[in-house]
Amino acid sequence: MPPKPPKTLFEDDHLLAISKPRGLLTVGSKPGQKNLLDQLKTHYQKQSIRIRPLNRLDRGTSGIVLFAKTRECFEKALIGFNSTQTQKTYIALVKGVPKRRSGSITFPLQSRQDKRKLLKAKTKYSVLDSKRIGKGALSLVEARISSGRHPQIRIHFTKIHHPLLMDRDYMERRDYKYWAQVVSFRHFFLHSAKLTFTHFITGEEITIEDTLPKEFRKTLKLFDLNSKPKKNRT
């Protein structure tokens, strides 16, 4: 049975926005790896359109992936996509409760091309809701970035001692073992929920949104967490 086609969130003559499910690579790094780009290629090659990804999400991250459908759009996006005019909003489930309900994380990150080079990176965040569970606690947060260094959000929340819940790469082993006894899932929840940018060809202000996946929503319901910020909290 062929894979279920991914959900299209936005499309015009120049751009295509797709909702990537968790567990799927954006682009394959080895022959035969299932990935979003290959799923889309067949359809667009029939129309003589070569699509190129403008952003990539980790295998474990769900949400908005933007593709260029023309060379002109792709080349202009290389300059404009990671500018301060582009805003990327993520929803994540993290361990613990940050002391500040909102703030900015500005730890520099290593360049993927040169490990000796540090790059500026800034993540603005707001705590949407939190819950005490047994000996621990978890929080639902909104994170906003423009640069999109890889994997910025996962590293930044680890730096303030609130790694994504069940993120095996960044949680301390004892914390992971504790939460593995509390929750049934063994993966983190990070969703690219909103993308706002200036269209690279038309100059229009574009906002693309993607609702939380079913599994993410069920998890929030299980822990009685609300994805809308609570006004009575400061």
Residue 222 burial (10 A CB sphere; 0-12, 13-18, 19+): exposed
CA distance 184 to 72: 46
> Greatest CA span in the chain, whole angstroms?
57
Q: Is residue 229 part of a domain?
A: no
Is residue 133 predicted with pLDDT exceeding 80? yes
Q: Which domain holds residue 22?
A: 7-222
Single-letter amino acid code for the residue at 177: K
The answer as to whether 234 is a domain residue is no
Q: Per-residue pLDDT for 32 more than 90? A: no
Q: Taking the model in full, what pTM does it have?
A: 0.92
Q: Tell me which of 149 and 19 has the higher pLDDT.
A: 19
- Averaged pLDDT for residues 32-46: 89
Please report whether residue 209 resides in a domain. yes
> In the 8-state DSSP scheme, what is residue 211?
P
CA 142 and chain centroid, separation: 11
Please check whether residue 61 lies inside any domain of the structure.
Answer: yes
Q: Would residue 71 count as lying in a domain?
A: yes
Residue 228 lies in a domain: no
pLDDT given for residue 30 in this prediction: 83
Query: Tens of pLDDT along 86-131?
Result: 899 999 999 999 999 999 999 998 877 777 788 889 999 999 999 9
CB 77 within 8 Å of CB 55: no
What pLDDT score was predicted for residue 110?
83
90 assigned to some structural domain: yes
Assigned token pair, 154: 């996962």
CB atoms within 10 A of CB 153: 27
pLDDT band at 84 (very low <50, low <70, confident <90, very high): low
Which whole number is the average pLDDT over 57-81?
A: 93
CATH code for the domain of 208: 3.30.2350.10
State how many domains the chain has: 1
Looking at residue 115, what is its pLDDT? 72
Specify which residues 95 forms β-bridges with.
138
Report if residue 231 sits inside a domain.
no
**Residue 127 contacts residue 98 (beta carbons within 8 Å):** yes
Judged by DSSP in three states, 214 sits in helix
Average pLDDT, the chain: 90
Q: What pLDDT sits at residue 172?
A: 95
